[in-house]
Amino acid sequence: MINPKLPVIWYGGDYYPEQWDEKTFERDIEMFKEAGINVVTLGVFSWTLVQPDENTYDFSFFEKVMDRLYQEGIYVCLATPTSAPPHWMTQKYPEILLTDVNGVKREKGGRQNFCPNSEKYRYFARNIAEKLAEHFKDHPALVLWHVNNEYLNYCYCDTCKAKFQNWLKEKYGTLDELNRRWYTRFWSQTFTSWEEIPVPTTKSVLFWRKDRYQSVLPELYLDYRRFMTQSMLECFLEEYQAIKKHTPDIPVTTNLIAATFKEWNYFEWAKHMDVVAWDNYPGYREDFSVISLRHSLIRGLKEGQPFVLMEQSPSQACWRWYNPQKRPGEMRFWSYHALAHGAETLMFFQLRQSKGGVEKFHGAVITHVDSTETRVFREVKKLGEEIKSLSNLLDTRVVSQTALLFDWESWWAMEDTLTPNVDFRYLSEVQKYFKALMKTGLGADVVGRDQAFERYRLIVAPALYMVDKKLAQKLKDYVSSGGILVLTTMSGIVDENDQIVLGGYPGYLHDLVGGYVEEIDALPPEEKNEILMFGRSYECNLVFDYIKATTAEVLGRFRKDYYASEPAVLRNKYGKGWVYYVGSSVSFDLVWDLVKFIEKEHGLKADITPADDVEVVKKIKDEKTFYFLFNHSSERRIVDLPEGRFKDMITGTIYEEKADLGPRDVLILLKE
């Protein structure tokens, strides 16, 4: 559990009493209690309030608030205010402000506008974190530290440039080595002094291509992403350490933005977080497997440990172009979905809707109507009542037979430069394969390249573009001892320096795949080919591998063009295991049939085979097995159950043989 001090499902969210008077605060407490709220996040953007100038600190406001909350049985997740530096600070020390990708320096305004390498910023941030921790270390309400808020932006200022140059010096030792590994003889990019090395802006090596920045010196951009991930992580760590000095036993986290967020390699972050936290804002009509992927990635960051759902909207967001309300029942549904996937908290942004400011239309538990009689409040209250009896879910762990290998390095390297097809995108390939894994009911985790593979019968690694010798060996070990691996086109292309591994793709993975790719054809999205496999034909597009099979058996062949009848899908026996290779961006149908084929061929078996649009998440604790069933469709669904008697933990209904789910309904079945 997140903190044994509060051994229940945490229910609450961001609250900004500093925006309200005392009378409102007192009324809010009553409403919180009515809604079953037991944790409140405080202080997220309160820097000027707690530090009105360089030498003054005043924690009296939050002290009073925390005292009152605690008296009423409500605990506190306390945030450091460091995502929005005060105006007095940026006025006096403008070097704190970041410079954007166009080389434009911010002057004022907003949040997440600081340079992660500014010594002044870092000093002020760790200082206020330490002062807060010192002040509140013995406060009985405190259960969790929330550092900063949604770390977001890269900076490209001169400070960052100098630090980057030093970072490179440390990494490469000599300029010769850097030039060699960055392949700078291409276009005469050779650097003759460290000071010549730029940061990647639109004034230097970046250019806009279709829908994103790419780099004419991709090796530099890749290193910058690694450097920025590390720089921002250092900001977190400096606050983390300052806090830990005073409260070694209170967990420290930061709310990660969006899970599949390109800028940060969250596997690196998670190594340093006591518990992972993230903010979940499902898109309108977004496929449920996409939300499941995000949760599973967050859960996977710490190999299955429970996580904090720090934010979700009870109703609507405000930052989308169109901000649909969550339909009646939808907030409850996504809340259970989060609990199934590993969350042990359900926290809202926010508890009281703002009266002013840019987010005044963002949904909240207490809306502008300012009443407990609203639809939203009633739904929040109902869920609050339901989860009171579900503490048994704490410390349950998801068990999955399959995993998707997710890799930021591949995502970056593949999308940041000219590749054969600009529309071949990392996330869309990942989503397609993850969806198929989920649909089987075998359970799908997400793993990183540094994590243990042996736990899984089947690993799917879509578009694993960057494979160094170490990862190649790890994959070989996994397969030779019996694992099943699915690889796809655009894999194993480059090594850790972003240099092509010669000898045909997928580089170091040749013998695993049992063949190699001689050419990659690339066509506009509307120009499709077909793959003949399993006696039927499947659509594919974007990229088409011209494959030479060596030891592999050919499962599928292209139907058209100059590679008609040539191999498109391979399977290769390797040691005790098997490798499947898919040489194009294929339709979901193909992925699904392939996964079903693998399931059958290798005797993988789900406890529960999900009906269409039904999701099954299996969890265990001690000897107990829990099945979460979600009906994502708008029709009734019947699901066949394994042997035994199952009790729905929410309603107490007993199910045997079959479970019956209404539209968008959820059951949590505990085997009796």
> Which of 130, 219, 238, 311 does the annotation list as catalytic?
311
CA separation, residue 314 to residues 283, 366, 482, 599, 625 (Å): 13, 10, 45, 39, 30
Task: State how far the Cα of 334 lies from the Cα of 337, in Å rounded to an integer.
Answer: 5
Of the pair 299, 362, the CB lying nearest ligand GLA is at 362
Q: Which does 317 bind (CB under 5 to 8 A by kind): ligand GLA, Zn ion, none?
A: ligand GLA
Give the amino acid at 75.
Y
Question: Minimum CB separation from ligand GLA for residue 15, in Å?
Answer: 12
Of the pair 291, 509, the CB lying nearest ligand GLA is at 291
Q: Which does 613 bind (CB under 5 to 8 A by kind): Zn ion, ligand GLA, none?
A: none
Specify the stretch interacting with Zn ion by CB under 5 A; choose among 9-17, 40-48, 110-118, 223-231: 110-118
Question: Minimum CB separation from ligand GLA for residue 564, in Å?
Answer: 50
Neighbours of 184 (CB within 10 A): 17
- Residue pointed to by tokens 């410390």: 395
Question: Contact at 8 Å (CB) between 364 and 350?
Answer: yes
Q: Which does 349 bind (CB under 5 to 8 A by kind): Zn ion, ligand GLA, none?
A: ligand GLA
Question: Minimum CB separation from ligand GLA for residue 232, in Å?
Answer: 15
Of the pair 281, 288, the CB lying nearest ligand GLA is at 281
Of the pair 359, 395, the CB lying nearest ligand GLA is at 359
Question: Minimum CB separation from Zn ion for residue 257, in Å?
Answer: 19
Of the pair 157, 666, the CB lying nearest Zn ion is at 157
Beta strands 577-582; 567-574: pairing state:
antiparallel
Neighbours of 93 (CB within 10 A): 17
# binding residues, Zn ion (CB under 5 A): 6
Give the amino acid at 541.
N
Question: Minimum CB separation from Zn ion for residue 457, in Å?
Answer: 46
Question: Contact at 8 Å (CB) between 314 and 331?
Answer: yes
Q: What is the CA angle 29-33-34, rounded to 5? A: 115
Task: Look at residue 179 and give its three-state secondary structure.
Answer: helix
Please list every residue from 153 through 172 that binds Zn ion, using CB under 5 A.
155, 157, 159-160
Q: Which does 295 bind (CB under 5 to 8 A by kind): Zn ion, ligand GLA, none?
A: none
Residue-wise DSSP of 186-254: GGG---SSGGGPPP--TTTTEEEETTEEEESSHHHHHHHHHHHHHHHHHHHHHHHHHHHTT-TTS-EE-
Q: Which does 229 bind (CB under 5 to 8 A by kind): Zn ion, ligand GLA, none?
A: none
Of the pair 231, 254, the CB lying nearest ligand GLA is at 254
Specify the DSSP element, H or E, that contains 268.
helix 266-270
Q: Does residue 96 bind Zn ion (CB under 5 A)?
A: no
Beta strands 654-661; 637-648: pairing state:
antiparallel
Q: Does residue 661 bind Zn ion (CB under 5 A)?
A: no
Q: Does residue 97 bind Zn ion (CB under 5 A)?
A: no
Of the pair 235, 555, the CB lying nearest Zn ion is at 235
Q: Is the peptide bond before 524 cis (omega within 30 degrees of 0)?
A: no
Of the pair 128, 160, the CB lying nearest Zn ion is at 160
Q: Which two tokens stand for residue 623?
A: 């000897």
Chain residue at closest Cβ approach to ligand GLA: 279
Of the pair 360, 600, the CB lying nearest ligand GLA is at 360
Q: Which does 456 bind (CB under 5 to 8 A by kind): ligand GLA, Zn ion, none?
A: none
Q: Which does 143 bind (CB under 5 to 8 A by kind): Zn ion, ligand GLA, none?
A: none
Selected from 2, 89, 115, 590, the binder of Zn ion by CB under 5 A is 115
Specify the DSSP element, H or E, that contains 599.
helix 588-601
**Residue ranges that bind ligand GLA, judged by CB under 6 A:** 149-150, 279, 281, 311, 317, 319, 349, 359, 362
Contacts of 472 (CB under 8 A, 6+ apart): 492, 507, 508, 509, 512
Cα 16 → chain centroid: 26
Specify the stretch interacting with Zn ion by CB under 5 A; choose among 1-9, 149-157, 227-235, 466-474: 149-157
Q: Which does 484 bind (CB under 5 to 8 A by kind): Zn ion, ligand GLA, none?
A: none
Q: Which does 145 bind (CB under 5 to 8 A by kind): ligand GLA, Zn ion, none?
A: none
Question: Minimum CB separation from ligand GLA for residue 358, in Å?
Answer: 9
Task: State how far the Cα of 130 lies from the Cα of 133, in Å rounded to an integer.
Answer: 5
Q: Which does 279 bind (CB under 5 to 8 A by kind): Zn ion, ligand GLA, none?
A: ligand GLA
Question: Minimum CB separation from ligand GLA for residue 659, in Å?
Answer: 34
Neighbours of 5 (CB within 10 A): 14
Of the pair 358, 654, the CB lying nearest ligand GLA is at 358
Specify the stretch interacting with Zn ion by CB under 5 A; choose among 111-119, 267-275, 299-307, 308-316: 111-119
Task: State how far the Cα of 667 lies from the Cα of 631, in Å rounded to an integer.
Answer: 9
Query: Does residue 150 carry a catalytic annotation?
Result: yes
Contacts of 6 (CB under 8 A, 6+ apart): 38, 39, 75, 143
Of the pair 113, 159, the CB lying nearest Zn ion is at 159
Q: How far apart are the first and last CA of the chain?
A: 24
Question: Minimum CB separation from ligand GLA for residue 114, in Å?
Answer: 15
Residue-wise DSSP of 15-67: --GGGS-HHHHHHHHHHHHHHT--EEEE-TT-HHHH-SBTTB---HHHHHHHH
Q: Which does 311 bind (CB under 5 to 8 A by kind): ligand GLA, Zn ion, none?
A: ligand GLA
Q: Which two tokens stand for residue 502?
A: 């010669």
Task: State how far the Cα of 280 lies from the Cα of 287, in Å rounded to an integer.
Answer: 14
Neighbours of 502 (CB within 10 A): 7
Task: State how far the Cα of 143 lies from the Cα of 638, in Å rounded to an integer.
Answer: 41
> Which of 130, 150, 344, 415 does the annotation list as catalytic?
150
Nearest Cα residue to 366 out of 135, 82, 24? 24
Q: What is the CA angle 9-15-19, rounded to 5? A: 170
Question: Minimum CB separation from Zn ion for residue 156, in Å?
Answer: 7
Q: Which two tokens stand for residue 584?
A: 């194009």
Residues contributing to the site for Zn ion (CB under 5 A): 115, 117, 155, 157, 159-160
- Catalytically active residues, by annotation: 150, 311
